[in-house]
């Protein structure tokens, strides 16, 4: 029997926890069907808070836990839920939770995080020098806060020495399948993936990521440069001329742009073009060759290569997966 412990705290997102509990319930049913052992579930789950009292989670509803994590020392897996990262990610009294997680890890317990729960795990220091992932939208913030962590934001799931991170909130399904296979069997995980209608082979978040444009940096000249790039992305943009237009010497322009946006001007332009290409692929019937010209590239082969590097999919694969309404047609290339 595998004991799974879920931690809840004020403001956490509960959907990942409830989804995991449902996934383990389904695993138990398949396990019983396969073995005939209806009285011995493979997984048991419990929810714990800091003091054992009801917790108001994201969305405003209350969760009544099974007890306090401070009173619980024995478990096989601890799962940390998602939070919305901010300047004050954790409450002031989070130290007992962080210490408790570290103590369980030192006992040999597997520690897993869902989505931005990886920020909590990183706060413990356990992820320093180890692989991790998080929701693609918060990857830059994560890198700034925890530079010692080996973040791979394209990954849906990472595991490194008993520390597991999953990407977006819905990636709890992949965490569930990973644990079901790890503690059960590949056959059981396959049965559950079919029951949940989840493709077990998904390994990348990159095709779902949207360019996270950062404009709250306070550098007005760089903000103007961003606006010029976004409004003239299809033109041939000379970065030296752009620097002069916003009143910055070409010598210092790239450094200031990188400091403000975490991107070079060229990578910023490329990502803006890729985002526009996604819109065309999702909503129009235009061919890849036509889209290449519209967004400012002359060579469709180069564009296809850049697009696949950015999304993990070819333009036609992307269109077939994300087409909206009647805007496009499967197979157009």
Q: Do 230 and 108 fall within a single domain?
A: no
User: Within 13 Å and on the Cβ side, how many CA atoms surround 210?
Assistant: 6
221, 288, 296, 205: which is closest to 255 by C-alpha? 221
| Phi, psi at 270, each rounded to 5° | -60, -40
Lowest mean pLDDT among 28-42, 109-123, 222-236: 28-42
Contacts of 160 (CB under 8 A, 6+ apart): 130, 131, 132, 150
| Residue 85 pLDDT | 64
Q: Are both 163 and 21 inside the same structural domain?
A: yes
Query: Is the four-CA dihedral 141, 145, 147, 153 of positive or negative sign?
Result: negative
Residue 330 resides in a domain:
no
Q: In whole angstroms, what is the distance from residue 288 CA to residue 266 CA?
A: 22
**Owning domain of residue 105:** 2-196
Distances (CA, A) of 239 to 9, 196, 268, 272: 48, 49, 11, 15
Rounded CA-CA distance 291/278 in Å is 10
Sign of CA dihedral 44, 45, 48, 54: negative
The reply to whether 32 and 179 lie within a common domain is yes
What CATH code is carried by the domain that includes residue 172?
Answer: 3.40.50.880
Tell me if 328 is assigned to some domain. no
- 234 and 177 in a common domain: no
Going by the DSSP 8-state scheme, the letter that residue 146 receives in this structure is -
Query: Is residue 207 one of the residues assigned to a domain?
Result: no
Task: Among 2-6, 7-11, 30-34, 104-108, name the one with the lowest average pLDDT.
Answer: 7-11
Q: DSSP 3-state assignment of 231?
A: helix
| Confidence check: pLDDT of 333 > 50 | no
Q: Are 19 and 67 members of one domain?
A: yes
Beta-carbon contacts of residue 109 (< 8 Å; ≥ 6 apart): 75, 76, 77, 78, 162
pTM metric for this prediction = 0.80
Other CB atoms within 10 A of residue 51 CB: 15
CATH at residue 233: 1.10.10.60
Give the total residue count for the chain.
333
Helix (H) or strand (E) holding 273: helix 265-283
Distance, first Cα to last Cα, the chain: 51
Please list, in sequence order, all residues whose beta carbon lies within 8 angstroms of the beta carbon of residue 274, skipping any fewer than 6 positions away: 211, 306, 307, 310, 311
d(CA 151, CA 128): 10
Helix (H, G, I), strand (E, B) or coil at 46: strand
38 and 122 assigned to the same domain? yes
Does 215 reside within a domain? no
Q: Are residues 38 and 164 in the same domain?
A: yes
Assess whether 267 and 169 both reside in one domain.
no
Least confident of 30-39, 82-91, 142-151: 82-91
| pLDDT score for 222 | 95
**pLDDT score recorded for residue 90:** 65
**Is the residue at 291 inside a domain?**
yes
Tell me, what's the pLDDT at 88?
58
pLDDT single digits (tens) 243-286: 999 999 998 999 999 999 989 999 999 999 999 999 999 999 89
Q: Are residues 133 and 229 in the same domain?
A: no
Catalytic machinery residues: 115
Q: Is the pLDDT of residue 331 over 60?
A: no
pLDDT one-digit tens code per residue, 168-216: 878 899 999 999 999 999 999 999 999 999 888 777 888 888 887 888 8
Beta-bridged to residue 55, according to DSSP, are 63
Which of 196, 212, 235 represents a domain boundary (last residue)?
196
Domain presence at residue 208: no
pLDDT at residue 329 in the model: 44
Whether 205 maps to a domain, the answer reads no
If we measure between CA atoms, which residue out of 17, 172, 37, 310 comes closest to residue 297? 310
User: Residue 163 forms beta bridges with which residues?
Assistant: 111, 160
- Evaluate whether residue 204 is within a structural domain: no
Same domain, 64 and 146: yes
Torsion of CA 175, 177, 178, 180, to 10 degrees: 120
Question: What are the Cα distances from residue 201, in Å, to 137, 152, 154, 189, 310?
Answer: 22, 17, 14, 12, 19
Q: Please say if the pLDDT value at position 143 is more than 70.
A: yes
Q: Which of 196, 229, 257 is where one domain is finished?
A: 196
Angle at 268 between CA 265 and CA 273, to 5 degrees: 130
Weakest-pLDDT range from 58-62, 92-96, 218-222: 92-96
Total number of domains in the chain: 2
| pLDDT tens per residue, range 279-311 | 999 999 899 999 999 999 989 999 999 999 999
Instruction: Verify that 11 and 142 share a domain, yes or no.
Output: yes
Q: Are residues 167 and 274 in the same domain?
A: no
Is residue 332's pLDDT more than 70? no
């Amino acid at each position: 029997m595998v004991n799974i412990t879920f931690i809840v705290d004020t403001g956490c997102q509960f959907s990942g926890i409830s989804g995991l509990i449902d996934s383990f319930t389904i695993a138990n049913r398949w396990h019983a069907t396969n073995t005939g052992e209806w009285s011995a579930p493979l997984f048991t789950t419990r929810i714990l808070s800091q003091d054992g009292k009801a917790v108001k989670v994201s969305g405003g509803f209350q969760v009544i836990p099974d007890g306090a994590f401070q009173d619980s020392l024995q478990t096989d897996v601890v799962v940390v839920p998602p939070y919305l990262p901010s300047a004050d990610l954790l409450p002031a009294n989070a130290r007992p939770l962080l210490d408790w997680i570290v103590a369980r890890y030192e006992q040999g317990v597997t520690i897993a995080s869902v989505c931005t729960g990886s920020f909590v795990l990183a706060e413990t220091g356990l992820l320093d020098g180890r692989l991790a992932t998080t929701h693609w939208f918060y990857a830059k913030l994560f890198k700034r806060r925890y530079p010692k962590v080996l973040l791979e934001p394209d990954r849906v799931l990472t595991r490194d020495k008993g520390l597991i991170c999953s990407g977006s909130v819905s990636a709890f399904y992949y965490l569930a399948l990973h644990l079901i296979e790890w503690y059960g069997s590949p056959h059981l995980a396959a049965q559950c993936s079919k029951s949940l209608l989840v493709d077990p082979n998904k390994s990348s978040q990159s095709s779902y990521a949207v360019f996270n444009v950062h404009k709250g940096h306070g550098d007005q000249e760089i903000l103007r440069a961003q606006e010029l790039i976004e409004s003239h992305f299809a033109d041939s943009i000379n970065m030296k001329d752009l620097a002069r237009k916003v009143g910055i010497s070409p010598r210092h322009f790239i450094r200031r742009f990188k400091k403000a946006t975490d991107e070079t001007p060229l990578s910023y332009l490329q990502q803006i073009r890729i985002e526009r290409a996604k819109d065309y692929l999702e909503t129009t019937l235009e061919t890849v060759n036509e889209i290449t010209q519209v967004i400012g590239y002359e060579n469709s082969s180069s564009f296809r290569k850049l697009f696949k590097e950015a999304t993990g999919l070819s333009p036609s694969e992307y269109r077939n997966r994300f087409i909206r309404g009647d805007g496009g047609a499967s197979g157009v290339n």
